[in-house]
Amino acid sequence: MPRLKCTFRDFVAILERNGFVEVRQSGSHRRFRAERAGKVWLVTVAYHAIGDEIGQYVLASMIRQSGLDKDQFRK
């Protein structure tokens, strides 16, 4: 199975396709929120350059925060 690989731009696009909306920004940290199945999901995305690739541990953490399936982030 290919490893998880994603840029910040791709990650934000996947979040938005799945109903997440940006609720606030503080510097380079953006907070996204969605409600699914009666639960509120909050994801913090911190980046300096939106085209940079996300490190594997940071990506895994953000995927856990989102509650989305890992397969959406495989390339």
pTM of the complete model: 0.88
Domain count, the chain: 1
Write the DSSP string, 6-75.
-BHHHHHHHHHHTT-EEEEEETTEEEEEEEETTEEEEEEEE-SSTTSBPPHHHHHHHHHHHT--GGGGB-
- Residue 15 included in any domain: yes
Tell me what pLDDT residue 10 has.
93
Residue 1 pLDDT > 60, yes or no?
no
Q: For residue 53, what are the domain limits?
A: 8-73
Give the tens place of pLDDT for each residue, 20-59: 999 999 988 999 999 988 999 999 999 888 899 999 899 9
Using pLDDT thresholds of 50, 70 and 90, give the confidence band for residue 63.
very high
Tell me what pLDDT residue 33 has.
97
Tell me what pLDDT residue 19 has.
95
Tell me what pLDDT residue 4 has.
78
- Residue 54 included in any domain: yes
CATH number, domain of 38, equals 3.30.920.30
- Residue 2 included in any domain: no
